[in-house]
Amino acid sequence: MHAGKDYTFKEFIFWTRRNIFKGIIIAAIPVLLYQIIGLKWLVLPWTVVALLGTATAFTVGFKNTQTYNRSWEARQIWGSILNTSRMWAVMCRDFFNDTETTKILVYRHFAWLTALRYQMRESKAWENGGKKHNQEYAEFYTIPENETKLEDELKKYLSEEELDHILKAKNKTVQLLAMQSNTVKELNLEGKIDRFTFLELEKMIKELYDHQGKSERIKNFPYPRQFASSNTYFIRMFSIMLPFGMLKEFDKLNDSIEGIMQGNMVWLVIPFTVLISWFFTTLDQIGEGTENPFEGSANDVPISQMSRTMERDMREILGETELPEPLLPENNIIL
């Protein structure tokens, strides 16, 4: 997530410069063929290009709306995890007289948060983090889950026996919540908590399962590929056809121009093609950058920061004073 006031124009140009270079080549070829070689028939009716541009604008707008909705839903889910986690710490503190049991349940929750964020950062085939422009921009910030191993993080919160069990599990987060439920059940059977307390704690575990399932749904189900692919193809076709549609229109301007530009107005097709195509390709790239809110891009939901915030809050609820340092933005990017 970008935590600054805005992206600078320099950052935007750096991130999208490949589209600009491609736009220059796409625009220069038809202009050279038309103006230098003299292929005056190499034109397209502007109406056709304009209609395609209108259709492309609709598809771009649709995609960006839907990908933003995915990103916003992911933020809402992790906001719910934040609130539920705080309540879990309060209930564990107030429902048990045994501080050791309270600590076990809360620290195991830290392990669940850790395993969940590592799970969300796993790479998927449809994600865009591996694209060149995203890899280059990723050099400006750090992805915490890439800096340390999951095993090393879980050691902070679990016993050796629990850690060994969780590391062998296929879905570590599911097993961690199952361990929580089993502990609560045993406490109820031992008479350490009453039936009402048991049901309330189980209700909280169910809520955490629900939040996890919603987060997994966004992670494991991509923005439909048919929409993403068609949007990209439409933009490419429009960008290629655009200069051919503007050749005749700019050539007509020679009749009303005098001086150095007389007879050379066609050359303006290049900068205008680059500008218009850059606008469309940048919007497509923005939508692409928000469709997977957990992939580790600069526009991700900051689940690492939120997990650290949850841990700090829950430790304070337990009365602890030695808290982990909050995660701070790096070049205005926080994950």
Domain limits of the chain? 9-317
> Model pTM?
0.89
List the one residue out of 241, 232, 231 whose CA is nearest residue 50: 241
pLDDT (0 to 100) of residue 67? 92
pLDDT (0 to 100) of residue 259? 66
Please give the backbone phi and psi of residue 2, each rounded to the nearest 5 degrees, phi first.
-80, 120
Tokens for 169?
A: 């599990």
Is the separation of the CB atoms in 332 and 182 below 8 Å?
Answer: no
For residue 247, count other CB atoms closer than 10 A to its CB.
Answer: 23
For residue 239, count other CB atoms closer than 10 A to its CB.
Answer: 23
pLDDT (0 to 100) of residue 137? 82
Q: How far is CA 81 from CA 34, 110, 209, 213, 214, in A?
A: 60, 12, 10, 11, 11
Residues of the chain with pLDDT under 50: none
pLDDT (0 to 100) of residue 154? 95
